[in-house]
Structure 1
Amino acid sequence: MKIALLSYSTKPRGGVVHTLALAEALAVLGEDVAVWTLGRGGDTGFFRQVDDAVDVRIVPFADGPDGETAGERVLRSIEVLGAAFTPDQYDVVHAQDCISANAVGDCVRTVHHIDHFSTPELAACHERAIVAPHSHVCVSRSVADELSAGWGVEAEVIPNGVAYDRFAGTTEQDRRHWTDRLGRYVLTVGGIEPRKGSLDLLESYALLREQQPDIALVIAGGETLFDYREYRRRWEDRARELGVEPVVLGPVAEDDLPALVAAASAFAFPSTKEGFGLAAMEALAAGTPLVVRALPVLREVFGAAARFADSAQSFAAELAAALADDDPDRREAGRALAAAHTWRTAAERHIVLYRSLRRGRS
């Protein structure tokens, strides 16, 4: 089959990581795969090298005029990607987000998680990206149930894979590079934004520091389409009020990320909304103790492999327990869970779905 996977960015967000890993796994299984995306800020490639077996199509996306709103930027993104895309070349068109789903219309759509926007343009984009596609995939049963309850849409559940060997195979020297620089640290990946629960984590960290003043909070990642500057200012103001100074690394080079995760004393995942939690699953692969928000989807995905918290106080307490590393059985359960999620299995299940859809639409 000739398969097009579409994303909205070249940056290392969870949906983009998913798109590239799935594309490469499909190509290994013999499928003819192309990945389409927008090249923002002059980008001509993805954040990492993509296997040569995958056809990479980067559509140039110029900076907008001064004062362009998030809604206007989304609408322009849809227009630019839609104008460049060539659907007649492909047997399967599979969009991975609401921008690419709006750009191509009739497609397979993976709903990674369900957002709730107040901006009219974004709310309309989100709605069309759910109702217009002919078929749907979700990466967890919880999101599929939410889709069914809210829209009457039934989705195929195909969990994410994880690059287990990449995160499990770091060397002591690689890890020491980070511990020598940062000392003992709690890590979170995903930047400073509302959906990642950044303000909540700040409160938890301040409580944790009262008992363990030597522990650092390290925040990696942060590439996003949306403007979270006001939220970031609130976060910085609150950090000053609490008297804490987290280490904000920003985007981390792809080759450096596994060791950063593996060297952490604990991994914090306080997201308020998730579809699967790929960064948290990578932490389990690295053998790093994991504390997540007690969301139904994260209980579904992580089960006994993670610690769960639902308030700043409980998050601080669970992080303290994780830092004590007093549960080797939980750590091994985490490694086993991560190892069981392979991109090959995800790709095989996508191929079965694609073939069934082609038969049904022929």
Structure 2
Amino acid sequence: MKIALLSYSTKPRGGVVHTLALAEALAALGEDVTVWSLGRGGDAGFFRPVGPAVRVRIVPFPDGPPQETVGERILRSITVLREAFEPFGAAYDVVHAQDCISANAVNGGCVRTVHHIDHFTTPELAACHERAIAEPYAHLCVSRSVADELTAGWGIKAEVIPNGVAYERFARTDPEARGAWRSRLGPYVLTVGGIEPRKGSLDLLEAYALLRARRPEVRLVIAGGETLFDYRDYRTRWEERAAELGVEPVVLGPMPDDELPALVAAADAFAFPSLKEGFGLAAMEALAAGVPLVVRDLPVLREVFGPAARFAATPEDLAGQLGQALAQHDPALRTAGRELAARHTWDTAARRHLDFYRSLG
């Protein structure tokens, strides 16, 4: 089967991680897979090497004018990707878009994975989001909760295929690399995903201030943060609030891919206070590493993480649960987390994708 997987970026966001891992797993099963994406900022490849059995097509996407809005940049992204992909689209048996931009770029003639549902107020973005849900001829979701949102909001029935996780990569990390992070940072709570509204960054900051009053030796470390959107105003509020609270989190920013597993595995706890998620791949990676996990009490995260995580609804709850995770080494919870992560394989996800593709005729 000749398959095109389309993504909007080469950067390490959850949907891009999903796209590359799925492509490699499909290729390992003998399928002919090409990943298409936009090369922002002069990127000629993805944030990590891609398996040699996968073809990669990076479409150059030059920077726009300084005054370009997010809406204008997204519309330009759609146009650039469409113009590059259109001459080749008919050659594929399956065209599978992983996000709003790529789904718009193929004019609805695609399978679409809806990782999570956004709510935009900008007219251009709202229209793009609507088309990217309504026009594809088949839909996948990585959790039942998001699939139920699609049914409730659009009357669309989506197949649910959960993410895989690179279990071995996070479960068996280099002791020296873990030790280096511990020497540099001391005891720390980690979150991955940057500083942005959807990630609940302000709530985590409030929780950290409460936690630090009881555990002053523990640092909050924030990794990741590559995004298409402009969160400068939110980041400014976050920095101002940190100063008011008298806390100084360590903001690492986007991480080299080969350094991330040891950073995760060396953490004393992993915080995942997102306000909206489709699955929570970074949190599942933390479970693979055996790190205690505290997540926002959302239906989707209850569905995905069940008995393997601690749940918190407010900053006060989050501080309390993180304190418990730091103080109580719960072998049963750790075992449950590792076993849950180990069950989510990319091979299984790829086989289920192939079954789904074939069911479309």
Q: Secondary structure at the match of 1:35?
A: strand
1:350 aligns with 2:353: yes
Taking the aligned partners of 1:112 and 1:325, their CA distance within structure 2 comes to: 33
Residues 1:11 and 2:14 aligned together: no
> SS state of the match for residue 259, structure 1?
helix
* C-alpha distance in 1 between matches for 2:174 and 2:18: 25
- Aligned equivalent of 1:267, options 267, 270, 286: 270
User: After superposition, what is the alpha-carbon deviation per residue over 1:119-148, rounded to whole angstroms, capped at 9, x for unaligned?
Assistant: 111111100000000000000000000100
Match in the other structure for 1:246: 249
Q: Structure 2 length normalisation: TM-score?
A: 0.99
1:216 positional shift: 0.2
Looking at structure 1, the residues matched to 123 and 44 of structure 2 have their Cα atoms a distance apart, in angstroms, of 31
Aligned partner of 1:124 in structure 2 is 127
Amino acid at match of 1:40: R
Write the distance in 1 (CA, Å) between the matches of 2:124 and 2:203.
Answer: 28
Percentage identity across aligned positions? 76
How many residues are treated as equivalent by the alignment?
358
**Pick aligned residue for 1:168 from 159, 166, 171:** 171
**Residue number in structure 1 paired with 2:222:** 219
CA contact (8 A) 1:186 1:267 kept: yes
User: SS of the residue aligned with 2:112?
Assistant: strand
Question: How far apart are 1:192 and its partner, in Å?
Answer: 0.3
**What is the root-mean-square deviation in Å for CA atoms of aligned residues?**
0.5
- 1:61 Cα shift? 0.3
Distance between the aligned counterparts of 1:307 and 1:213, measured in 2?
22
Offset at 1:198? Answer: 0.3
Q: Deviations over 1:254-291 (max 9, x none)?
A: 11100000000000000000000000000000000000
Is it true that 1:153 corresponds to 2:169 in the alignment? Answer: no
1:61 aligned residue: 61
Shift of 1:356: 1.1
Give CA deviations for 1:195-240 in whole Å, capped at 9, x if unaligned. Answer: 0000000000000000000000000000000010110000000000
Runs of 5+ consecutive residues of structure 2 not aligned to the other structure: none
Residue number in structure 2 paired with 1:22: 22
- The letter of the residue matching 1:95 is A
User: What is the rounded CA distance, in whole Å, between the counterparts of 1:138 and 1:79 in structure 2?
Assistant: 25
Supply the distance in 1 between the matched residues of 2:113 and 2:328 (Cα, whole angstroms): 36
Match of 2:106 among 104, 107, 114: 104
**1:323 partnered with 2:326:** yes
Whichever residue aligns with residue 102 of structure 1, its letter is N
* Counterpart residue number, 1:35: 35
Give me the whole-angstrom Cα distance separating, in 2, the residues matched to 1:32 and 1:288: 36
Which residue of the partner structure matches residue 206 of structure 1?
A: 209
- State the shift of 1:109 in Å: 0.1
In structure 2, the residue matched to 1:295 is 298
1:191 counterpart residue number: 194
Q: CA deviation at 1:324?
A: 1.3
Deviation string for 1:269-326 (max 9, x for gaps)? Answer: 0000000000000000000000000000000000000000000100000000011133
Q: Which consecutive residues of structure 1, in runs of 5 or more, have no partner in the other structure?
A: none
**Deviation at residue 327 of structure 1 after TM alignment:** 1.3
Residue 146 of structure 2, aligned match among 143, 146, 168: 143
CA distance in 1: counterparts of 2:335 and 2:328, whole angstroms = 12
Equivalent position of 2:93 in the other structure? 91
Inter-partner Cα distance in structure 2 for 1:318 and 1:66: 43
Letter in 2 for 1:82: R
Question: 3-state DSSP class of the match of 2:258?
Answer: coil
Alpha-carbon distance in 1 for matches of 2:210, 2:191: 17
Q: Which amino acid aligns with 2:49?
A: Q
Distance 1:260 1:3 in 2: 34
Q: Please give the alpha-carbon distance, in whole angstroms, between the structure 2 residues aligned to 1:167 and 1:339.
A: 11
Q: Which moved more, 1:168-177 or 1:190-199?
A: 168-177
In 2, Cα distance between equivalents of 1:172 and 1:81: 42
Instruction: In structure 1, give the amino acid aligned to 2:189.
Output: V
For the residues of structure 2 that align with 1:238 and 1:120, how far apart are their CA atoms? 31
Give the drift of 1:171: 2.6
**Partner of residue 179, structure 1:** 182
| Partner SS state of residue 117, structure 1 | coil
| Residue aligned with 1:148, SS | helix
3-state SS, counterpart of residue 354 of structure 2 = helix
CA shift, 1:66, in A, is 1.6
Contact 1:289 1:325 in 2 (8 A): no
SS in 1 for 2:257: coil
Contact 1:293 1:309 in 2 (8 A): yes
Displacement of 1:250 in angstroms is 0.4
How far apart are the structure 1 equivalents of 2:357 and 2:184? 47
Query: Paired residue for 1:46?
Result: 46
2-side partners of 1:300 and 1:152: how far apart?
21
